[in-house]
Amino acid sequence: MIARSTLYTAKGGDTIQALETARGLVRNGIAVDLKLTGETIHYQDYDLLHFFNITRPADILYHIQQSGKPYVVSTILIDYSEYDKHYRNGLPGIVFRLLSSDSIEYLKAISRRILGTDKLMSLSYLWKGHRRSVKEIVKQAKLLLPNSNSEYKRLKERYGCNGNYRVIPNGIDPALFSFDHSIKKDPNLVICVARIEGIKNQFNLIKALNNTRYTLMIIGSPAPNQLTYYRECRKVAGSNIHFIEHLPQEELVHYYQKAHVHVLPSWFETTGLSSLEAAVMGCNIVITDKGDTREYFGTDAAYCEPSSPQSIFEAVEKSASISAGPGLRTKIISEYTWQQATLCTIEAYETVIN
């Protein structure tokens, strides 16, 4: 398994997905090594390569060119363009408004290399560009592994792919996230578990709940390149807003258990992994209406418009006024666990290798 170089230093949902998938496969007797893209890999030791994040094609191009091995891709296709084009501040915002989505991602990749925050693994990415690189990876992949049918549909519409795919659901660990019905929820406690960065939209969430009856706990560390955004969030936050650094999942259980509402008002989500975790712990869910979230949460969540603090507030009010029913918890435990994801991944591997 090969993932981005910042998988551990800038932890996100893909960090959990990669680690939990690897653990599940090992428990099922499959030899797995999880490598960062900059590590030296002895390709001859492996039957199959499994990549994460199609939005970082330079990482993938290098290894498929060097290895000649069959590969699958957990696409995790996040669309940053609405935030980048309309709500990002400063010079990047001005420039990004003039560019296509793929050109924006190309410029970001080059910028990370120039600033020294990440490597550019494949020089061919420079002349192929972002869009052509993604299309090449998708075309040559033995199997694509999106987190939902909705994600694959977006991938197909954007890059014209017609390859085979298998949905691998995102999941939770039911042994870890075990809801205790005897512990009373705090009706005014709202939490948001996410890395602090523009696309997660904590700024508008703060504006929505500032100086209200709610206590908002924002749990997560700022993304390394979004410290200015983090400082803006801290600056506007009222006395009812609290910030807690990134916590391991074992420590999140306490906050999920006490909170009545979990909010993820992002500009885009493929799933919203923390929303799955919160929901199985009895939280009512407020989530963005951008991305693939409806395939997971259906009518069991309140949806908000990320650009509107008023919409976010109204969705929180709606969720805070009702008790969480068992329907979504039951659905998650039966369909969205890491064990389910592991079994689907094994079937995908067998299809490729056979």
Strand partners, 192: 218
Check residue 267 and give its pLDDT: 96
Q: How far is CA 302 from CA 46, 282, 317, in A?
A: 44, 14, 10
To which residue do tokens 């296709």 refer? 77
Band (pLDDT 50/70/90 cuts) for residue 117 is confident
Phi, psi (rounded to 5 degrees) for 243: -110, 135
- Closest of 254, 243, 316, 313 to residue 285, by C-alpha: 316
- Closest of 26, 75, 27 to residue 52, by C-alpha: 75
Contacts of 348 (CB under 8 A, 6+ apart): 72, 143, 145, 166, 168
Contacts of 19 (CB under 8 A, 6+ apart): 34
**Cα separation, 220 vs 192, whole angstroms:** 8
Task: Give mean pLDDT, residues 101-119.
Answer: 85
Rounded to the nearest 10 degrees, the angle between the axes of helix 124-140 and helix 57-67 is 70
Task: Give mean pLDDT, residues 217-222.
Answer: 97
**Cα separation, 205 vs 219, whole angstroms:** 13
What are the tens digits of pLDDT across the range 299-314? Answer: 999 999 999 999 999 9
Band (pLDDT 50/70/90 cuts) for residue 344 is very high
Check residue 174 and give its pLDDT: 95
- Closest of 210, 214, 212, 255 to residue 233, by C-alpha: 210
What are the tens digits of pLDDT across the range 121-178? Answer: 788 989 999 999 999 999 999 999 999 999 999 999 999 887 799 999 999 999 999 9
Check residue 323 and give its pLDDT: 85
Q: What angle do CA 272, 225, 52 make, to 5 degrees?
A: 45
Between 205 and 163, the higher pLDDT residue: 205
Check residue 123 and give its pLDDT: 83
Check residue 112 and give its pLDDT: 83
Between 207 and 354, the higher pLDDT residue: 207
What are the tens digits of pLDDT across the range 244-271? Answer: 999 999 999 999 999 999 999 999 999 9
Task: Give mean pLDDT, residues 201-227.
Answer: 96
**What token pair was written down for 70?**
């069959």
